[in-house]
Amino acid sequence: DAKTTQPTSMDCAEGRAANLPCNHSTISGNEYVYWYRQIHSQGPQYIIHGLKNNETNEMASLIITEDRKSSTLILPHATLRDTAVYYCIVEKGGTSYGKLTFGQGTILTVHP
């Protein structure tokens, strides 16, 4: 699986958009980009995933560059409850049986 690079930490003001970047320059054509988060050492929580196109759900938006070498997770209106570690993961899909390789992620702190 391709390696990902994320900033160690980021800050965001409550109510503002949080934009979390991820670099995955060695991604191959059949690899998906996933985002998970972990709050207070609870079990990781799925946020969103995509292959080529931008994706949006009730939690967030995922913007993938045209060359697929990087992506951005957008939390449109961050709240204090969004403070967590955010993991960007690249995964092969079928041939890897859904196995996820977690890096150290980005610690997002949302301030009042």
Task: Give the residues lining the site for other proteins (CB under 8 A).
Answer: 32, 41-46, 49, 87, 93-94, 96-105
The C-alpha atoms of residue 48 and residue 61 are separated, in whole angstroms, by: 8
* Minimum gap (Å) between residue 23 Cβ and other proteins: 16
Q: Among residues 21 and 44, whose Cβ is nearest to other proteins?
A: 44
Pick from 97, 40, 48: nearest CA to 72: 48
3-state helix, strand, coil in the chain (%, to 5): 5, 45, 50
Q: Among residues 50 and 82, whose Cβ is nearest to other proteins?
A: 50
* Minimum gap (Å) between residue 40 Cβ and other proteins: 11
